[in-house]
Structure formats: C-alpha cells, structure tokens
C-alpha cells in the first residue's frame, strides 16, 4: 500500500516537473516505468516513446538517459506495445462475428513468446549491483540472495520495492529514502578530496531554506541521524568529516567493502552510472 502511494506521489511530482520543462527524457522514462508497473501499458507506450524522442534530441545531457536506460526504454516500449497488442487480440477473440474465430492461438504465437522473453530479460536486468570498481545488472532474486549471502564485514545498501535496507554482518535496519540516498552518495561519489556538502546533497532534502539551500544545522543533524542508524549495526565509523570550501563536509573513508543495490530506473541513477 505504501509503495502504491509512493508511486502516485512520484508520478505527480514528475508530471509537475514536466509542466515546467518538457524535454526531460529521464522523467518520461520514470513515468513509463511506473505506469508499466501499474499495468497501464497504453500510457507506458506514450511515455517511453517520448523518453526516447527527447533523448534523441539531447538538448540537456544532465537529463538524458544512460546507455542501460536507453536500451531498457526500447525494451519497455516494445513490451508495452506487445501487451496492448495482446489485449487487443483478446478483445477480438470475444467479438460475436465469425471472422474473430480466424485468429491464431496466442498461447503459441510469436507475439506471446516475445512478450514472455522480453519480460524475463527486463526482470533479469532490473537492478544495478555496484561495488568498488564494479557495476553489473541483476534480478531482484539476485539482490535478495546477495543480502542473505554477503561476505563478512561487507556493507549492503538495498533499495528494494518496499523499504530501504542497510545490512552489515547479518544485522539490518530500515532507513528513510533520504538516508538511503545519502549513504549511497557517500559510498559511490565521495572521498577525502571530493567530500559531500549541503550544497552537493541538496537534492536529497525535501525542504530547503528561503534561499533554496539546505540549512547547515539541518544537514549536520541528518548526517548524525544516519550515523546513529549505522552504529546500531555495529558498523565501524565509515563517514569522516572535514572543512571544505568553508562548509562542513563528509566523505566515505573506505573502511569497509560495500555493495549497493537499486533499480535501473532510479531517479539518481545517472549520478553513478554513465
């Protein structure tokens, strides 16, 4: 129920963004994925086609699709169209006149086989699995197995379809979406020479000050709350602090190996996968 509510909020936010700026391929891609997940394949066809069309123009690289997303957009577009075609065939079979009886058996038709094969492919490559120096795609089942069988002293951050989970040495804790986004950013995009500040992490905060920036106190308290969640797992202190460009900044110190698991359609994917 919460996931459905979150999806509806995401759809509303994406449509609002597109009302201000039309040429955002990644927004159409996200809308396509969300409507596909809801089974609204007619809308999914529209959104994935628009994602690919705007991506082709490439007006703003910051909002473009990465290679994996572009490929998935084509796959989802094809599958959405096949679902629409499949539904049309089923409706035609119920027509009262005799010509409807001439339709092929969908159970053995190429259409049905392609639909099944495409779905299998998309499911097998639905998530990114990222560790230091390595990126691959995998299924949700592989993600679950990774969490269950991860090596000792390895931190796992898992963005699943229900919760955001932090796991270390067989202990796990649920964290908020904002905390999950922050720890992922620390692991994948920070180091001592490139620490994170309230400016670089602004997108992970829903509320900002009147100047559009995250308040310093809000930022520092958020990091401390995240650290508290990590300490509950007996996790070593993996986030160090320093002064950087007159700001309090934080970075991942590389103390432990890590694995981050998140869907390829994630809103922040392009920050970590090109």
So what's the pLDDT on residue 205?
85
Overall residue count recorded for the chain in this entry: 274
1 — pLDDT class (breaks 50, 70, 90): very low
- Weakest mean pLDDT among 71-75, 161-165, 183-187: 161-165
What does the pLDDT average to over 87-94?
A: 76
Residue 204 has pLDDT above 60, yes or no: yes
Average pLDDT over residues 171-200: 95
- Mean pLDDT (whole number) for 134-163: 95
C-alpha separations of 105 from 97, 100, 109, 148, 258 in Å: 17, 12, 6, 42, 49
Would you say 172 and 232 are in contact if contact means Cβ atoms under 8 Å apart?
no
Does the pLDDT of residue 223 top 70, yes or no?
yes
Of 202, 166, 211, 197, nearest to 184 by C-alpha is: 166
The span from the CA of 60 to the CA of 63, in Å, is 6
% of the chain surpassing 70 pLDDT: 89
Q: H helices within the chain, ranges in order?
A: 2-20, 25-37, 41-57, 67-93, 110-124, 140-149, 177-189, 216-231
Q: Going from the N-terminus, what domains does the chain have, and what CATH number goes with each? A: 2-124 (1.25.40), 127-271 (1.10.10.10)
* Distance set, CA 101 to CA 92, 93, 106, 273 (Å): 9, 7, 12, 49
Q: How far apart are CA 199 and CA 205, in angstroms?
A: 10
Query: Counting beta carbons within 10 angstroms of the beta carbon of residue 51, is it exposed (0 to 12), middle (13 to 18) or buried (19 or more)?
Result: buried
CA dist., res. 88 & res. 80, Å (int): 12
Q: What's the token pair of residue 269?
A: 């994917």
- The predicted model gives 92-100 an average pLDDT of 66
Q: Which of 189, 199, 201, 194 is nearest to 260 (CA)?
A: 189
How many Cα neighbours within 13 Å face the side chain of 231?
8
Q: What is the pLDDT of residue 100?
A: 54
What is the percentage of the chain residues whose pLDDT exceeds 90? 62
Residues 223-227: what's their mean pLDDT?
A: 95
- What pLDDT sits at residue 242? 96
Q: What is the arithmetic mean of pLDDT over 229-249?
A: 94
135 vs 68, 125, 159, 179, 181, CA distance in Å? 12, 12, 16, 22, 18
- pLDDT at res. 101: 60
Concatenated DSSP letters for 11-55?
A: HHHHHHHHHH-S--HHHHHHHHHHHHHTT-HHHHHHHHHHHHHHH
**pLDDT tens digits, residue range 66-80?**
888 999 999 999 999
Residue 179's pLDDT band, with cuts at 50, 70 and 90, is very high
Q: What angle do CA 36, 24, 43 make, to 5 degrees?
A: 25
Residue 83 contacts residue 133 (beta carbons within 8 Å) = no
């Amino acid at each position: 129920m919460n996931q459905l509510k979150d999806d509806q909020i995401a759809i509303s936010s994406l449509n609002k963004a597109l009302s201000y700026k039309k040429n955002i391929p990644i927004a159409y891609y996200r809308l396509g994925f969300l409507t596909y997940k809801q089974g609204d394949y007619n809308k999914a066809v529209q959104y994935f086609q628009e994602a690919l069309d705007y991506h082709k123009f490439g007006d703003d690289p910051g909002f473009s699709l990465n290679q994996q997303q572009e490929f998935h957009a084509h796959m989802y577009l094809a599958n959405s169209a096949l679902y629409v075609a499949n539904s049309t065939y089923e409706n035609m079979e119920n027509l009262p006149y005799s010509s409807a009886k001439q339709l092929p058996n969908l159970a053995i038709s190429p259409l049905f086989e392609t639909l099944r094969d495409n779905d299998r492919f998309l499911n097998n490559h639905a998530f990114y699995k990222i560790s230091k120096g390595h990126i691959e795609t995998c299924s949700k089942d592989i993600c679950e197995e990774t969490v269950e069988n991860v090596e000792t002293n390895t931190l796992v951050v898992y963005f699943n379809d229900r919760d955001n989970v932090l796991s270390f040495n067989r202990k796990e804790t649920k964290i908020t979406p904002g905390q999950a986004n922050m720890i992922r950013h620390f692991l994948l995009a920070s180091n001592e020479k490139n620490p994170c500040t309230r400016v670089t992490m602004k997108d992970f905060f829903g509320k900002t000050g009147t100047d559009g920036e995250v308040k310093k106190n809000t930022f520092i308290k958020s990091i401390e709350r995240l650290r508290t969640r990590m300490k509950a797992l007996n996790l070593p202190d993996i986030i160090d602090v320093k002064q950087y460009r007159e700001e309090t900044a934080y970075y991942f110190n590389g103390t432990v190996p890590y694995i981050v698991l998140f869907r390829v359609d994630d809103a922040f994917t392009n920050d970590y996968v090109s």
